[in-house]
Structure 1
Amino acid sequence: MEIKERILSKAEALFWKFGTRSITMDDISRDIGISKKTLYQHFTDKDDIVYQVIQYRMDQNRENVSCRLATAQDPIEEILLASELMRQYLAEMNPALLIDVQRHYPRAWEICTEFKEKFLLESIRSNLKRGIEQGLYRSEIDIEIMARLRVELIRMAYDTDVFPRMLAGMKEVQIQLLHHFVRGILTEKGSIIYNQYVQQYQNDPAFSPK
């Protein structure tokens, strides 16, 4: 692996576990086993590392989601698969990470905002539109409102002020909010297909609702 890729990979793991504010350039160089001089040959400062880590992760997320969704049979399975992918990746994320990035790393936060507005929201809008066209989702739902609601539900699950960890794990909160959202937009036809997926995945905790 190229040294820069190693740095990004190790820095990402540290940021996801501990957040960004508590991790220093010394921590990163020590964890990788390189000198700070080598580290600064590839990145100008910590802000640059955070920026490039977030950029790399958002690019990977786009690619992974697009590849996985290509296997979906219909919009219902698509939204289930997309949510499962997100839970897999973010399950170990320190809730402080997003707060750190938003408050202290504006360039990196712009990437997160762009990912939400140009990829995540657009993907959900497309899903809702196709679900309505196929008679799986209720035709009277407002696509823009429901797309933004879904994004906020995802974000809300990581807010410890709303869902303290002693109440339920982050993954369980995401599962509950996902199925609450999906059930609310289904037609009778969609409900039948949805229940088939629930039965199909009933032994898979990544999908199984309580």
Structure 2
Amino acid sequence: MREEILTSATEMFLTYGFKSVTMDDIAEKMSISKKTIYTHFSNKTKLVQETTFGMFECISSGIECICDLSYNPIEELFQIKKFILENLKDEKSSPLFQLQKYYPKIHAELRNKQFAVMQECVTDNLNRGVKDAYFRSDIDISFISRVYFQGMMGIKDIDTFPTELFSMNYLLEKYLEYHVRGIATEKGILTLEKVQNQYN
């Protein structure tokens, strides 16, 4: 039952947001009593924490699998984008924004976990891109990997990028293009345009 609660709660949080969904909503959706949920999770914060870190582990594992498939560095970025969108429902409810606002401690811990994983993944992507001449050899990999992380976090700020104006798919697409064009060789630009045609 515990796993079923986590699965239902995760789906509802992604669809409607962490603040919007109550324990009553989850109980009603699952046709169980709220007491049953509290048997497994002492309060909503605990449930939010477990669903958040569960989603993080799922996404991280999926990204790791993609990185093992030997895509070229540019296609790898777009494969990861596709995977994230499929698993986060295009983030129409801006769950990350609600997490930051209403559960700041969980958000801060999640951000630290995301940074650690992304640093390793992006650094490897950049190194392979330089080695295979998709990215320029003069780029500062440590700097760019951090800028990439900050940019990825920044495009999820709904005050700057309101969801009624920008879909997450659009933001990720444009950010990846911005990122790649800033560091790519001629070979990299040609590969980017080819990959964009495939994914559009």
Aligned AA (2:102): H
Instruction: Report runs of 4+ in structure 1 exceeding 4 Å deviation.
Output: none
So what's the TM-score if we normalise by structure 1?
0.85
Asked if residue 127 in structure 1 is aligned to residue 121 in structure 2, the reply is no
Cα distance in 1 between the residues matched to 2:90 and 2:175 = 18
Identity %: 29
Q: Closer, same or farther in 2 for the Cα pair 1:130/1:103, shift >3 Å? A: same
Q: Distance in 1 between matches of 2:21 and 2:176?
A: 33
- Higher RCO, 1 vs 2 (CA within 8 Å, ≥6 residues apart): 2
Q: Which moved more, 1:99-108 or 1:65-74?
A: 99-108
Deviation, 1:57, is 0.5
SS of structure 2 residue aligned to 1:145: helix
CA contact (8 A) 2:23 2:44 kept: yes
Q: Which residue identity does 2:173 align to in structure 1?
A: I
CA 103–69 in structure 1, closer or farther in 2 if over 3 Å, else same: same
CA distance in structure 1 between the partners assigned to 2:133 and 2:89 by the alignment: 33
Q: Which residue of 1 aligns with 2:83?
A: 85
SS at match of 2:90: coil
| Change in 2 beyond 3 A, CA 1:137/1:120 | same
Match of 2:69, SS? coil
The reply on whether 1:97 has 2:107 as its aligned counterpart is no
Deviation at 1:99, TM superposition (A): 2.5
Gaps of 5+ in 1: 202-206
Amino acid at match of 1:87: L
* AA aligned opposite 2:21: I
Structure 2 distance, partners of 1:100, 1:73, is 34
Q: Using the TM superposition, give the Cα deviation of residue 185 of structure 1 relative to its aligned residue in structure 2, in angstroms.
A: 1.1
Q: Which segments of 5 or more consecutive residues in structure 2 lack a partner in the other structure?
A: none
- Give the conservation status (yes or no) of the 8 Å contact 1:138–1:185: yes
What is the deviation of 1:166? 4.1
CA contact (8 A) 2:94 2:156 kept: no
User: Could you say if the C-alpha distance between residues 48 and 130 of structure 1 is closer, same or farther in structure 2, counting changes exceeding 3 Å?
Assistant: same
What amino acid sits opposite 1:159 in the alignment? D
| Residue equivalent to 1:72 | 70
Counterpart pick for 2:50 among 38, 49, 52: 52
Between 75-84 and 42-51, the greater mean CA deviation after superposition: 75-84
Letter in 1 for 2:77: I
Question: Which structure is higher in helix share?
Answer: 2
Aligned residues: 200
